Structure 1
Amino acid sequence: MPDAASIHVMIVDDQTSIRAILRNSLAQLGIINVSERKNGKDALEYLSQNSVNRIISDFNMPEMNGLELLKAVRANPRMAKTAFIILTGEASKELVQEAVKAGVNNFLAKPYTVGKLKAVMEAVFGTIV
């Protein structure tokens, strides 16, 4: 049962508004330690110097998409066990299969509710208190 205050989430999405909505949704769950990046490349640069224990990443982004970021995270021994959720508006069968093969922990479909976000997070991490 993770304590919400101990959770550090990195949101990776090229849309500022989506990052803000997701940050607000996480705050409603008591998760306030949140970092934001606009694409996978920026996320990897951040992760080279910092640690997070959860990543929520959009799939479609410029420079490096969410699936490429997932593969890079899983290939790095220091980050390989970091929980990873892909946020997507289009969960095609091919995307799901490739992400599962790459080691994604779960998916969050857009649009989502705070309740759905909590359910997806708890399915991966256990009850958040």
Structure 2
Amino acid sequence: MLELPHLIVALVEPSGVQANIIRQSLAELGIDQILQCSSGSDLLDALARGPADVVISAFYLDDMTGTDLVLRLRASDDTAELPFILVSSETNPDYIDPVRQAGTMAILPKPFSTRQMEKALRNTLDFLNAEDDQETDIDFAELAVLIVDDSLTARRHIRTVLERIGFERITEAYNGRDAITHLENTLFDLVVTDYNMPQMDGRALTEFIRSQSMQSSVPILMVSSEADSNKLAAVQDAGVSAICNKPFETDVVRNLVKQFIRSH
């Protein structure tokens, strides 16, 4: 299994001062394999020459934003699953949510603590090592899961995590209405859904499953960037089994799924 000191980190940071702060934090964690890049283009060129285990990037780069960069990574087969950590003082949801949707291990503030960096990198390790850390008493490959999210990049990231955990029978739906069509034709062992979706959101889908579906007892995991506590409380009242924030931790999802399957 890959361990923390063995990680190869690609650091994308145009500020020399901030780059040194991040490098110092990584050094405190025993990480010294750092590929320094000053722009998004530099990173893409560097990855074409050799691999990295994780990208740590600022949001504002000289040639693109962190959102642009992570979407470029997700669009390439070679880097689609490359873990991405954002370090930024930006808090505007319009800028940050696309990064969440694209699949990131963590979004760290400026300034951040070494403890926060370690947690983000531990989540990265859980993701990278997931295929070597599968349960022996649950055969995830035999279980059917439905992913519901209007973001293609979000669906791909969730699918990647589930595949690393061991799932093989995965169906995707782009909103609640599309999910209902699948639910009427296929039996599922788990539904993983977003909250904010057009036509039918996660709350409405949960209510439909619990009150009108033939699969009313199927576990429902909501993975969402929704921050409104009233909306999330309403979803819980509707019958969702658990809620995970985006970005989510691989180990948390794994443990929740194991809990769902064993109790169900």
TM-score, normalised via structure 1 length: 0.90
Indicate whether 1:92 and 2:233 are aligned: no
- Please report the RMSD computed on the Cα atoms of aligned residues, expressed in angstroms: 1.7
Question: Is the CA contact (8 Å cut-off) linking 2:144 and 2:188 kept in structure 1?
Answer: yes
Q: 1:80 aligns with which of 216, 236, 239?
A: 216
Equivalent AA in structure 2 for residue 18 of structure 1: A
Match of 1:15 in 2: 151
Secondary structure of 1:11's aligned partner: strand
Matched positions, count: 127
2:260 paired residue among 112, 124, 127 = 124
How far the C-alpha of 1:98 sits from its partner, in A, is 1.1
Q: Which consecutive aligned stretches of 4+ in structure 1 deviate over 3 angstroms post-superposition?
A: none
Moved more, 93-102 or 60-69: 93-102
CA contact (8 A) 2:223 2:248 kept: no
Confirm or deny: 8 A CA contact 2:142 2:168 kept in the other structure. no
The aligned residue for residue 107 of structure 1 is: 243
How many angstroms apart in 1 are the aligned matches of 2:184 and 2:250? 30
CA contact (8 A) 2:191 2:220 kept: yes
- Matches of 1:3 and 1:93, distance apart in 2: 35
- Structure with higher RCO (Cα < 8 A, 6+ apart): 1
- The one-character-per-residue Cα deviations of 1:6-38 (angstroms, maximum 9, x if unpaired) are 211100000111111111100110111100000
Ranges in structure 2 where 5+ consecutive residues have no aligned partner: 1-136
**TM-score, length-normalised on structure 2?**
0.46
Larger radius of gyration: 2
More helix by share: 2
Q: Which residue of 2 aligns with 1:62?
A: 198
Aligned counterpart for 2:177 among listed residues 27, 41, 46: 41
Give the gaps of 5 or more residues in structure 1.
Answer: none
